Amino acid sequence: MVVIEYTQLEELIIRIRDISGFDFSGYARPSLLRRAGRYLAKYDMDLGALLDHIEPGGSIVYELIQELTVNYSEMFRDPEYFKRVRTEVFGYLESYPTLRFWVAGCASGEEAFSMAIMLKEAELLGRSLIYATDLSNKVLTSAREGVFTLGNTRTFSESYMMAGGKHSLSDYYHVAYNQAVISPELRKNIVFSLHDLTGDGVFNEFQFISCRNVMIYFTLELRQHVFRLLYDSLSMLGFLCLGKRETLRYSGLEAHFKVIDSTLNIYQKIK
Amino acid sequence: MNSARDESLSLVLIGGSSGSFVIFEDIIKLLKNPVSFAVIFVLHRGKYSASVLPDLFKTKTDVHMSEPHHLDPITANSIYFALPDYHLLIGEDHRFYYDHNEPDFFSRPSIDATFISAALSGIPVKAAMLFTGSSQDGAEGMKLLAEKGFPTYVQNPEFAEFPRMPEEALLKYHQHNLLEEDKFYKTISDLLS
């Protein structure tokens, strides 16, 4: 761990913005501080050395942005959430002839794959389109390939079973070159595309949006802005799902949603 | 949004892993309403741990206990617990922040994550304590807190059920105060008074 102070972090934010145009000023400082510290420890350098290395035209600044923004992702994270979505939400969705899902901040795609599996088992996948977006092209490339590390399959299988999975997770991937690859059949209903929640706007209307463990990285102000975007992207009676420790609290939109599950943070737009 | 900010806020930080649950329970019994600071407990727990610590401990103290939400203000006279599967960070703005990135030393919550963020938050730390456990987690955070001039206390590894965690903390920084077996709860009780 390399420790940097808040004042130094501000210096880094300004430097990154000057060189790349990418603005971290709306990112929650405590987690940014932690990530920046971990980045420096990984490359065994101090902040001074990093500031010297990030130059216009160099690749380091983009690698740094990448590391500071990429979210850690798992299949069937919070299995009880998926279980609840299956029992509480899918029933509502069955009446729609076509369904649009948005996995916002999808990182390497695990959440989108999990959702596709759930939809397939509920026989809804055929009429569903899942838009999975992230601000990083690099993670999207990996997501499009459907690859995840084989080492994680055991934990993922456990979570899948706990989520009420009907088969075996291994039915949905094959192993090649020591990597697990999600089956193309699941991927064909998923569109991975570039979208920055903090800067880009509404691009479709959805019956279901999951944005889990993304907003915890934004400041209160930016978070309100992103909540507004998600709200505007939802159809009436559509569902919004947040991470287990995120709530609509401090969003300014509390009155526009009905709480479906207050522990797992599943909400329905009602006005 | 920062109106809840209390400039007199101070923190007591308590971290532990294997074997620490019973110590946490005994410390909670020492806390009587009102306490003039916020107490933050970080216990290593399994990712799927369903136990809600405020419920488990509710008969042990009359001080308000919670597993805080992201962005909740940190206030005195409160006991907080880090949740399983998230890092609990402390912000300069006296709010809690969750982080769901990589575990430290296979642990999420990580004691280091909370302790380091507290050390950098500018909020005074009245005391930080580290107990039994079989991990290296906590050592970096304790060192930083000590270097910032805050009082740090480590269970004497000789009587810790799992000595590794206090040992690692002492290896990283030799001058932590040792909590000795014979005066263990007496010392902690004095610190919390």
Q: What is the pLDDT of residues A3-20, one digit of tens each?
A: 899 999 999 999 999 998
Residue A130, pLDDT above cutoff 80: yes
Q: Phi first, then psi: what are they for B142, rounded to 5°?
A: -65, -40
Residue B2, pLDDT above cutoff 60: no
Q: Phi first, then psi: what are they for A193, rounded to 5°?
A: -150, 160
Q: Chain A to chain B, count of Cβ pairs less than 8 Å apart?
A: 74
Measuring CA to CA, which residue among A31, A20, A10 is closest to residue A65?
A20
Amino acid B50: pLDDT: 67
* Cβ–Cβ < 8 Å for A115, A103: yes
Strand partners, B41: B14, B81
Interface pTM, i.e. ipTM = 0.87
- Within an 8 Å CB–CB cutoff, is residue A3 touching chain B? yes
DSSP structure string for A130-179 = EEEEES-HHHHHHHHHTEEEGGGHHHHHHHHHHTT-SS-GGGGEEEETTE
Residue B13, pLDDT above cutoff 60: yes
Amino acid B101: pLDDT: 79
Within 8 A by CB and 6+ apart from A237, the residues are: A92, A268, A269, A270
Average pLDDT over residues A189-204: 94
Q: Is B20 considered catalytic here?
A: no
Rounded to whole angstroms, how far apart are CA atoms B138 and B156? 15
When scoring B55, B100, B120 by the number of chain A Cβ atoms within 10 A, the one with the most, hence best to mutate, is B100
Tokens of B13: 């930080």
Interface of B with A (CB under 8 A): 1, 48, 69-71, 83, 85-87, 89-92, 97-102, 112-113, 116-117, 119-122, 140, 144
Residue A167: alpha-carbon gap to chain centroid: 25
Angstrom distances, CA of residue B112 to CA of A47, B43, B71: 20, 11, 20
Q: Left, alpha or beta for B51 (phi > 0: left; psi -120 to 50: alpha)?
A: beta
* Cβ–Cβ < 8 Å for B85, B71: no
Indicate the Cα dihedral angle B64, B66, B72, B75, nearest 10°: 30
Strand partners, A94: none
Most confident of A20-24, A230-234, B82-86: A230-234
**Sheet with strand A190-194: strands edge to edge:** A190-194, A128-134, A99-104, A206-211, A234-242, A266-269, A257-261
* Cβ–Cβ < 8 Å for B38, B66: no
* Cβ–Cβ < 8 Å for B76, B36: yes
Q: Do B99 and A246 touch (CB under 8 A)?
A: no
Amino acid A102: pLDDT: 98
Rounded to whole angstroms, how far apart are CA atoms A262 and B80? 20
Amino acid A70: pLDDT: 74
Tell me the pTM.
0.88
Residue B4, pLDDT above cutoff 70: no
* Cβ–Cβ < 8 Å for B152, B176: yes
Angstrom distances, CA of residue A58 to CA of A39, A151, A267: 17, 34, 43
Rounded to whole angstroms, how far apart are CA atoms B62 and B83? 21
Amino acid A2: pLDDT: 82
Tokens of B61: 């103290």
- Per-residue model confidence as pLDDT tens digits over B101-116: 777 777 889 999 999 9
Q: Do B101 and A1 touch (CB under 8 A)?
A: no
When scoring B67, B97, B116 by the number of chain A Cβ atoms within 10 A, the one with the most, hence best to mutate, is B97
Angstrom distances, CA of residue B31 to CA of A117, A253, B25, B151, B172: 48, 38, 10, 19, 30
Within 8 A by CB and 6+ apart from B112, the residues are: A1, B104, B105, B137, B138, B139, B140, B141
Q: Is B17 considered catalytic here?
A: yes
Tokens of B30: 């020492």
Residue A80, pLDDT above cutoff 70: yes
Q: Do B140 and A216 touch (CB under 8 A)?
A: no
Half-sphere exposure of A72 (CA within 13 A, CB side): 13
Q: Cis peptide leading into B34, omega within 30 of 0?
A: yes
